[in-house]
Amino acid sequence: MKKFLIVGLGNIGEKYTNTRHNIGFQIVDALAKEHEAKFETDKLGDVTRFRFKGRTFVLLKPSTFMNLSGKAVKYWMDKEKVALENVLIITDDVNIDFGAIRFKAKGSAGGHNGMKDIEAKLSTQKYARFRFGVGGNYPKGRQVDFVLGEWNKDEESQLIERIPTSVKAVLSFGTDGLANTMNNFNGK
């Protein structure tokens, strides 16, 4: 039986709930809801599990705040005995158009502090990541305000479609593999 660790990055706390930076939390929340899995607070994060097509999906929302996510990822990989190739990190990306999906097998952190910390704690850039485009429609020097800002009405209405597509893409990662998921979902 295969086991997958799906990590949605975000910041804990009510004030961050509907922000662009928390799209990782939003996607794993939708995935848990679809599979009637309930999150429980545990060490370094909120965790839940469900089975789908003979695979176990462990969902994690780190409670370490975005920029310190690596500690939670490493802890839960070790605790659940999940191989690095079965880990998927879901995060926002300002360099991708809003709503676009991009899976990659490896790469740099791209200026994302949460990804930098994961890279440091895992001692590698070779882990699967799912970047959800939040767009880069912000004035120069205002990136932090933008990603910590709430979705606008137009974005919210489009998320109604984009989040279910993202959920399908995550399940595909576990059932069809990274290469097929990249072929079927990247750019969609």
Active site residue 112: no
Q: Is 180 annotated as a binding residue?
A: no
CA distance 32 to 46: 12
CA distance 160 to 156: 7
The end-to-end CA distance of the chain, in Å, is 30
Residue 179 CB contacts under 8 Å (≥ 6 apart), including other chains: none
Determine contact, residues 27/38, Cβ cutoff 8 Å: no
| Sole residue written with tokens 């004030």 | 15
Q: Is 65 annotated as a binding residue?
A: yes
Determine contact, residues 91/129, Cβ cutoff 8 Å: yes
Strands 55-62, 45-52: pairing is antiparallel
Q: Is 137 annotated as a binding residue?
A: no
* Catalytic, out of 21, 102, 112, 131: 21
Q: Is 113 annotated as a binding residue?
A: yes
Determine contact, residues 54/176, Cβ cutoff 8 Å: no
- Residues at the binding site for tRNA are 16, 65, 67, 113
As annotated, the active-site residues are 21
- Residues at the binding site are 16, 65, 67, 113
